[in-house]
Structure 1
Amino acid sequence: MPSLEQTCERGGGRELSAPRLRSDTPERAGLDPGELEHLVQEVHDLTTGERPWAAGLVVVAGRGPVIAVEEASGWAVRFASYDPETDAGVELPRKARVPMTAATPFDLASLTKLFTAVAAMQQIERGTLGIDARVGAYLPDFRAAARHGVTVRELLTHTSGLRPELPLYDCADDAERLELLRSEPPIGVPGTYTYSDVNLLLLQHVLERITGRGLDTLVHDGITRPLGMTATGFGPCPGAAATEYQRRPWAKADRGMLRGVVHDENAWALGGVAGHAGLFSTGRDLAVFCRTLLAGGSYGPARILGPDFVDLLLTPPGLGFAIDQPWFMGELAGRGAAGHTGFTGTSLVLDRATDTFLVLLSNAVHPRRRPPDSGPRAAAATRLARAVRPTSLAGP
């Protein structure tokens, strides 16, 4: 199988051959083909027109071991820059654009948090990390978190009281960035939900301290390598879909058009490996990730978590995963569906009640970020929910 670098360099490479996932008809998956036809058409509609929802998009959907939809639409690279005077992207000549394919890698943005959460759960399963242990027990030098008694569970459930983000991108060097994290106290009421990238940055430091290994190594050795997810890893990833033309004032840094380097400014400032952002992946690889969790932590001969620990990960309110959120899960929400979204235009949902999964990857920030709109994500999930037939699922 190709390495991440090889896959990224040629914009995707060959599809992965996973032992438990296969492409087959909707009927073999126990899904209604008519609803999935609507899903595919609506995905294509999202990339058309003068101001599409996204320049390009990949959707992968299935049930049980069957991938019933794997579709690409639009462009991996469409724009050269963004013109603030016309509030429009500066389009590349058609021959210079890069078409989207099902194998195109994407900047996952906050879907990275799910991998950090699984890496943490692996340490909890091994007994090297306590779910209700205080962060200060592992990171005594992180003075503010230690002083306020922040726990590992609070980091995973976004109930630590830490603010949503810190301006690490404005720090002069790594030492200043580290000091900012060490001295940052909670500003909210502990136990109250406040979504925060800082939670996952602290969790990254906990994992790296107790294992003596970097997060990129933990994700590779503990998740992507055993699952055969060779197109998944931290960047750079030159063949990835382009993201944003970053310029102040709409962005937090002046970096120009981004492709193959992490979009998130804080993850960029941290060298591209961060607990909250930085991973690149493909739709097929994320389908493997979803299938593994739906199967209780195993995929083919590999086991990355035991079923009890998958239950702990996905039981409301969820550890790292969002649970039953209709705003992006549509009608899949309601019986324990789990997933997450990413700022660049990514999302995944897995529903254990129906054994279904939906991966939607886009470069919705290409050529520049807009106010978030998760309506298309919810609509796609609703199509999948309505496609579920009350029949036995296809066998392995």
Structure 2
Amino acid sequence: MTKPIVAIAVMSLIEDGVLTLDDTIAEHLPDYADTDKARIRVANLLTHTSGIPGRQPLYQWNRARDELLTAIRRLPLLGPPGAQVSYSSPGFILLGLIAESAAGMPLDQLVAERVTRPAGMVDAGFASPPTELAVATEDDPWRGHLVRGEVHDENAVVLGAPAGHAGMFATLVDMEALGRTLCAQGWGAHGRVLTPAGYAAMITPRTDHLPLRRTLGWQGVDAVDATAGDLIGPDGYGHTGFTGTSLWIDPDRGSYVVLLTNRIHPNRENTAISRVRRAVNNIGFALASL
């Protein structure tokens, strides 16, 4: 669930005029100026239409931050930007770096100032949570121990510093605060996160000409096999997390459903989470309609 929260911070920067959807990777990350990724736009990164391959186990061959970032630069594109929706964690790693460049501050500080603090997400952040708030996830053979209270994503471990694709922690109370903020069109418990116009721009579908529906940073309700379930409205949007989490919002009804699990405990072979997500979302949105 890190990606959509980072996306909200990016949208806040766009509202302030320090970043635009048409800004390119090369404008903010000069090391990419002579690569095939130079002209990929911020909009492409937000909608997963950059063409940068996703789910790359770069950590297996690159054990230092600089090595991993170099490996991302060298990844061949799947196709031209905008041609397809292909979920890309490396794309969001770059988006996090672009956000830091535009804001002039570290990503964790940016997210705190722009999203979690005004939304009232008291315990949310990139720092490891207190032991009493952390649940065990995977018994990770790469690290040689049971992961608890540390970022699960291995590429994020190598990067070290907060990354745009993974590594945030939050409680149920935090995610409810985010859900209420989004249902209120960007107005949080402690201040405005986005203006109504910025919120509307964020949740507007951008890829309806392609098989998968994406907004700026969020997944829309796909026509087939939507994990959002059957009862969410057509304008619904949300996001899932690899470790077994999700947040779905129905803006027309002003309702949301949060699911937090540790489905990768003790390992990531549990694939039943898709059925669980649909069932829980159906129950949640049914109750919201009463």
Match of 2:215 among 306, 318, 321: 318
Give the match for residue 223 of structure 1. 115
Q: What is the one-letter code of the residue matched to 1:121?
A: M
Give the match for residue 340 of structure 1. 239
Give the match for residue 126 of structure 1. 16
Whether the 8 Å contact between 2:240 and 2:247 is mirrored in structure 1 is: yes
Match of 2:277 among 377, 382, 386: 377
1:137 is the counterpart of 2:34: no
Give matches, 1:25-174, under 5 Å: 111-143=1-33, 148-169=38-59, 170-174=61-65
Query: Is the partner of 1:190 in helix, strand or coil?
Result: coil
Give the match for residue 270 of structure 1. 159
In structure 2, the CA distance between the partners of 1:272 and 1:206, relative to structure 1 (3 Å rule), is: closer
Match of 2:135 among 237, 241, 244: 241
Distance in structure 1 (CA, Å) of the matches to 2:144 and 2:241: 20
The C-alpha deviation readout for 1:349-370, integer Å capped at 9, x for no partner, is 1111111111110111111111
Whether the 8 Å contact between 1:144 and 1:184 is mirrored in structure 2 is: no
In structure 2, the CA distance between the partners of 1:157 and 1:264, relative to structure 1 (3 Å rule), is: same
Whether the 8 Å contact between 1:145 and 1:184 is mirrored in structure 2 is: no
Distance in structure 1 (CA, Å) of the matches to 2:62 and 2:232: 40
Match of 1:190 among 62, 74, 81: 81
Bigger CA drift: 229-238 or 342-351? Answer: 229-238
Give the match for residue 179 of structure 1. 70
Q: What is the one-letter code of the residue matched to 2:65?
A: D
In the TM superposition, residue 324 of structure 1 has moved relative to its aligned partner by 1.1
Instruction: Say what the alpha-carbon RMSD is for the aligned residues.
Output: 1.8
Q: What is the one-letter code of the residue matched to 2:67?
A: E
Whether the 8 Å contact between 2:120 and 2:189 is mirrored in structure 1 is: no
Whether the 8 Å contact between 1:136 and 1:143 is mirrored in structure 2 is: yes
- Which structure shows the bigger proportion of residues in strand conformation? 1
Whether the 8 Å contact between 1:159 and 1:190 is mirrored in structure 2 is: yes
Which structure has the bigger radius of gyration?
Answer: 1
Distance in structure 1 (CA, Å) of the matches to 2:79 and 2:170: 34
Distance in structure 2 (CA, Å) of the matches to 1:142 and 1:185: 13
Q: Which runs of 5+ in 1 are unaligned?
A: 1-110, 248-252, 391-396
In the TM superposition, residue 330 of structure 1 has moved relative to its aligned partner by 0.4
Give me the TM-score of the superposition, normalised by structure 1. Answer: 0.66
Distance in structure 2 (CA, Å) of the matches to 1:139 and 1:213: 15
Aligned length: 275
In the TM superposition, residue 238 of structure 1 has moved relative to its aligned partner by 4.2
Q: What is the one-letter code of the residue matched to 1:184?
A: L
In the TM superposition, residue 174 of structure 1 has moved relative to its aligned partner by 2.1
Give the match for residue 364 of structure 1. 263
Query: Is the partner of 1:281 in helix, strand or coil?
Result: coil
Which of the pair has the greater relative contact order for Cα pairs under 8 Å at 6+ separation? 1
Give matches, 1:288-303, under 5 Å: 288-303=177-192
Match of 1:327 among 226, 247, 251: 226
Give the match for residue 101 of structure 2. 209
The C-alpha deviation readout for 1:230-281, integer Å capped at 9, x for no partner, is 210113224211100011xxxxx23310100111111111116211110000
In structure 2, the CA distance between the partners of 1:122 and 1:174, relative to structure 1 (3 Å rule), is: same
The C-alpha deviation readout for 1:112-156, integer Å capped at 9, x for no partner, is 001110011011000111112222112121246565521110000
Q: What is the one-letter code of the residue matched to 1:193?
A: V
In structure 2, the CA distance between the partners of 1:238 and 1:258, relative to structure 1 (3 Å rule), is: farther
Whether the 8 Å contact between 1:327 and 1:375 is mirrored in structure 2 is: no
Q: Which runs of 5+ in 2 are unaligned?
A: 206-213
Q: What is the one-letter code of the residue matched to 2:28?
A: Y
Bigger CA drift: 144-153 or 167-176? Answer: 144-153
Give the match for residue 91 of structure 1. none
